[in-house]
Structures are given as C-alpha cells and as structure tokens.
Copies of this chain bind each other. A is one copy, B any other.
Amino acid sequence: MEEYINKIIQGNCIEILKELPDNTFDMIFADPPYYLQLPKGKRLKRADGSEIIPVDNEWDQFKDYDDYDSFTESWLKECQRVLKPTGTIWVIGMYHNIFRVGKIMQDLGLWFLNDVIWVKIGALPNLNCRRLTNNHETLIWAVKNKNCKGYTFNYQLLKEMNNGKQMKDTDWVFGLCKGNERLRDENGIKSHPTQKPLKLIQQVFLTSTKKGDLILDPFMGSGTSAVVAKALGRKWVGIEKDNKYIEVANERIKKQKIC
C-alpha cells in the first residue's frame, strides 16, 4: 500500500480497487457518475440566449439501468471490502442515481448512519417552470456492516461548527464551486464539469476522520478530496481513469498551500 499513499492511481476504478488489500481505509468518499440521462442534442438556453452546458461526458453514459447498477455494485462491493470495520463510506448523488445507489448499498449489507442533504447555494433555477428547483444533492453515510462499532464521528467538533447545536443532516448549506475555486483551462472552460466545493468535502472529512487517517477517493476527478485531505493532515489514495483530470489534479495539489 505504501507506494499508493498520497497519489492518484490511473486506471479503471473497479480493476484498481480489486488490487487493494482488505480493511485498509478509515474513510471512503465516492462521487460516482450520476447517469443523468439528459435528452441528447437539446440544450436549454437562458433568457439572454446563452446555452446551459450540461454534463454529457462519455463517463456519464450507460446503456441502461442494469448497466449502471452492475457498475455500481462492482465498485461498491470492492469499497466495502477495503473499508476498515471501524471505517465509514460516503457516497454523493442526485435523484437520478442516489436511490439506485442507496438500495445497492443496503443490499451489500452496508449500514446507513445518515443521509445528508447538501443544500446548494447558487444552483441553477428551473428554466421551464415545470418542476421544483433542484437545490440539493444527497450524501449517504454508512458503515461496513450492521455490527460495526467504533467509527469516527467528531460530534463535539461539528457541534461547535454549528453554533453549539447538534449538527443535523439538513444543516449542510454550501455554495457551488465557483469563482477562483473553480478550475478552468486557458480558454476559461471548466476543467471538470462536476467539481465539488472544498467546504463540502472538508465538512465530510471533519465529520468522520482523524488526523493521520487514510482516505480513499475512487472517483478522484479534479482532486478536491486530495486537496482537503492534505490540508487537514489526512493521508489519501485517489483513483481516476482520465489522464486529463489527473494532470489537473496533480498540478492543483502541487500548487496547494492552504485549503
């Protein structure tokens, strides 16, 4: 394992997970593809005529629900295996995928601690006025199985962070990743379409890890979890398929001074 610490492993998530030893990680944070199933070729426009750029990347394409489910079960099963009995796993998603992901997690025997609502500040309003505005994502927090005890939950710290009151599963209000935090290439194009905000990931790590803990991110993307892990004194292992994202992430981590 030592050779992987604080590094991004390039390759297929499931294949790489299979090479990692049992009961290794104190915490896993997974931000998998959401399988958005957007209508192809159509793009919503804002009132000023500008186009909304949707997430239509190749990595979010699946043949059908079965295809998505079998992918999901495979990586979750390996994550469960490499998770310590005292560890916890977080998975983030939206209504497109999180219900499928959640049922598969339960079927694998993962035992839920909470489902946390990230209330997104600055989310896109609903442009066609035919639905409620999507304003949240859901994080599932779970232990390896029903009988697992001794996981880390920094109750007191979170209470302090929440003005002296117990942190609730609905108190997670954070802005989207925008402005200086958002990574862009030389042409101003977003380096990653679904870059998560540092503050959200930080709160996840502060909730469920101690200094020196080893964290796994099987869908590393632009490297947000590595940046937060480094800043908080946690060790980390990342997995990412796309070399372009790995470059972005490595450069970001190298440059990093403060979270």
Q: Which residues of A contact B (CB under 8 A)?
A: 65, 95-96, 98-107, 112-117, 119, 125-126, 129-136, 138, 140-141, 153, 155, 158, 166-171, 207
What 6 A-B pairs come out closest when comparing CB atoms? A99-B102, A135-B168, A95-B115, A103-B103, A133-B168, A135-B170
Q: How many chain copies does the complex carry?
A: 2
Bound complex: CA A207 to CA B95 (Å): 19
Main secondary structure of the interface of A (DSSP, over half): mixed
Contacts A99-B103, A102-B102, A113-B131; is A119 near B170 (CB within 8 Å)? yes
Max chain B Cβ within 10 angstroms of own Cβ: one of A135, A158, A207: A135
In contact, A168 and B103 (Cβ under 8 angstroms): no
Q: Which residue of B lies closest to A69 (CB)?
A: B103
Q: Which of B100, B103, B167, B170 contacts A117 (CB under 8 A)?
A: B170
Bound complex: CA A96 to CA B142 (Å): 12
Bound complex: CA A135 to CA B166 (Å): 11
User: Which residues of the partner chain B approach A99 to less than 8 Å between Cβ atoms?
Assistant: 98-103, 105-106, 115, 140
Bound complex: CA A126 to CA B113 (Å): 12
Bound complex: CA A96 to CA B134 (Å): 23
**A126: min CB distance to chain B, Å:** 6
Q: Which of B112, B135, B167 contacts A169 (CB under 8 A)?
A: B135
**A232: min CB distance to chain B, Å:** 19
In contact, A169 and B132 (Cβ under 8 angstroms): yes
Q: Which of B117, B131, B140 contacts A136 (CB under 8 A)?
A: B117
Q: Which residue of B lies closest to A130 (CB)?
A: B153
User: Which residues of the partner chain B approach A115 to less than 8 Å between Cβ atoms?
Assistant: 95, 99, 138
In contact, A116 and B132 (Cβ under 8 angstroms): yes
In contact, B168 and A132 (Cβ under 8 angstroms): yes
Bound complex: CA A132 to CA B170 (Å): 9
Bound complex: CA A170 to CA B138 (Å): 11
Contacts A102-B102, A106-B65, A140-B95; is A166 near B125 (CB within 8 Å)? yes
User: Which residues of the partner chain B approach A135 to less than 8 Å between Cβ atoms?
Assistant: 168-171
**A149: min CB distance to chain B, Å:** 9
User: Which residues of the partner chain B approach A153 to less than 8 Å between Cβ atoms?
Assistant: 129-131
User: Which residues of the partner chain B approach A119 to less than 8 Å between Cβ atoms?
Assistant: 170
